[in-house]
Amino acid sequence: MKVLIVGSGGREHAIAQKVSESKRVDKIYCAPGNAGIAELAECVDIKAMEFDKLVAFAKENAIDLTIIGMDDPLVGGVVDEFEKAGLRVFGPRKNAAIIEGSKAFSKDLMKKYNIPTAAYETFEDADAAVAYLETKAVFPIVLKADGLALGKGVLICNTLEEAKEGVQTIMLDKKFGSAGNKMVIEEFMTGREVSVLAYCDGTHIKTMTSAQDHKRAKDGDQGLNTGGMGTFSPSPFYTKEIDEYCQKEIYEKTMAAMKAEGRDFVGILFCGLMITPKGTKVLEYNARFGDPEAQVVLPRMKNDIIDVMEACIDGTLDQIDLQFEDNAAVCVVLASDGYPVSYEKGYEIKGLENFKDKDGYYAFHAGSAIKDGKVVTNGGRVIGITAKGATLQEARANAYKATEWVNFENKYMRHDIGKAIDEAGVN
């Protein structure tokens, strides 16, 4: 088979790695890809939002399967375009990707189908939002821009003043563009966060092993929100009991709800969950693999990813026995110092050869490029160092050891990825 992957981050590198392990695949292309992906795939200079060019490329090169990694093209309807051209593609259609593309849609869906989530109200008018905050709000409170905002459209406000400023930022100043035409105001929840990703075929849903992300830039969950500074899998806080509850009350119900709405969900459903003292609730849905969740979940998957993705497209996921290794993985992101605000790029990345032929160790490129024949930094998040281990502690020790194998001028990382594991008292 010939496979095309759309995207350019660490997530797409992890997908490409898994696809390269499939016995069914002879050739991988990636649009646009990065320097790490280029080791596994032929990178094609087409951007993820250039739908016409992607479709034309897939036709001309007789691509058997296209895998969409990123949220923007999915929400924009790239899958519909591929299907119209008679091409096989993995990902939700536009009418299903809206589960990520509009927070108002996903909150209304959860309310209508009784799926546990934080209490909320939706607003299309800034004055009405402020009036609500002045009369009904309990602080802290959470403001969310309705649309896609690179994971930055969520504001947690401790006071009425902060919340009013938040309304100004989202709805009037339009800091997140048209994503702020609507806004959700929701109850603040406390607890442990966990990401559960699932394969879906429109009718059936099969969850993967759990993971936990670290969104803040600095140790101790301080600093600004980022795209994710590291992950571990599985989450020891996501117990068998919680899983049984979520299977019934969240995953199955979400699949059935989307079907009932005529929006059959085919692809990866990412459930961002909060394990609260009052039960587990949905924080958000995404319509794709998490980044950097994919970097710890996919290396532990035993199945051939092509078999699973094809079963999703064909509606036969119930026939797949989805299996994960009985071990653990940790991913530590090496970033450019200053991320997510401002940082320098273009520095040579040294030591990548140390990962060659090392089983269970991966350097997933997030922001890299090739300049004058050298691999250089090309983004805020540069490389996700993933290592497996028999236990979470071992995986973490291995991952941190491997972070020393790679160097570049302004290398920055968190030193407490997976520290929560110690609190869980597990191994």
Q: Determine, following the binding rule CB under 6 A, whether residue 151 of this chain makes contact with ligand AMP.
A: yes
Q: Determine, following the binding rule CB under 6 A, whether residue 189 of this chain makes contact with ligand AMP.
A: yes
Q: Determine, following the binding rule CB under 6 A, whether residue 286 of this chain makes contact with ligand GLY.
A: yes
Give me the sheet containing 279-286, strands edge to edge.
205-207, 192-201, 266-276, 279-286
Q: Which is nearer to ligand GLY, 289 or 362 (CB)?
A: 289
Residue 290 contact among ligand AMP, ligand GLY, none, beta carbon within 5 to 8 Å by kind: ligand GLY
Considering only the stretches 49-57, 185-193, 203-211, 236-244, report the one whose residues sit in contact with ligand AMP under the rule CB under 6 A: 185-193
| Residue numbers 173-232 binding ligand GLY by CB under 6 A | 213, 228
**In angstroms, rounded to a whole number, what is the distance separating the alpha carbons of residues 202 and 285?**
16
The tokens for 85 are: 């051209």
Among 154, 287, 329, 395, binds ligand AMP (CB under 6 A): 154
H/E run at residue 15: helix 10-20
**In angstroms, rounded to a whole number, what is the distance separating the alpha carbons of residues 118 and 111?**
10
Q: Which is nearer to ligand GLY, 91 or 228 (CB)?
A: 228
**In angstroms, rounded to a whole number, what is the distance separating the alpha carbons of residues 116 and 112?**
11
Are 157 and 200 in contact by the 8 Å Cβ rule? The answer is no
The tokens for 214 are: 């670290």
Q: Determine, following the binding rule CB under 6 A, whether residue 188 of this chain makes contact with ligand AMP.
A: yes
Q: Which is nearer to ligand AMP, 271 or 402 (CB)?
A: 271
Considering only the stretches 170-178, 249-257, 289-297, 394-402, report the one whose residues sit in contact with ligand GLY under the rule CB under 6 A: 289-297
Q: Which is nearer to ligand AMP, 69 or 153 (CB)?
A: 153
Helix (H, G, I), strand (E, B) or coil at 294: helix
Q: Determine, following the binding rule CB under 6 A, whether residue 272 of this chain makes contact with ligand AMP.
A: yes
Alpha helices in 234-297, H assignment, sequence order: 240-246, 252-260, 294-297
Q: What's the CA angle centered on 241, arms 240 and 243, to 5 degrees?
A: 65
Residue 188 contact among ligand GLY, ligand AMP, none, beta carbon within 5 to 8 Å by kind: ligand AMP
Q: Determine, following the binding rule CB under 6 A, whether residue 100 of this chain makes contact with ligand GLY.
A: no
Helix (H, G, I), strand (E, B) or coil at 50: coil
DSSP state of 347: P
Cβ 394 to ligand AMP shortest distance, Å: 27
Residue 100 contact among ligand GLY, ligand AMP, none, beta carbon within 5 to 8 Å by kind: none
Residues 118-147 as x/- pattern, contact with ligand AMP by CB under 6 A: x-----------------------x-----
Alpha helices in 281-413, H assignment, sequence order: 294-297, 305-314, 392-403
**In angstroms, rounded to a whole number, what is the distance separating the alpha carbons of residues 195 and 211?**
5
Distance of CA 57 to the CA centre of its chain: 26
Q: Residue 254: which of 245, 265, 267 has the closest Cα?
A: 265
Q: Determine, following the binding rule CB under 6 A, whether residue 223 of this chain makes contact with ligand AMP.
A: no
Q: Which is nearer to ligand AMP, 207 or 398 (CB)?
A: 207
> What is the binding site for ligand AMP (CB under 6 A)?
118, 142, 151, 154, 156, 186-189, 193, 215, 272, 283-284
> What is the binding site for ligand GLY (CB under 6 A)?
151, 213, 228, 286, 290-291, 293
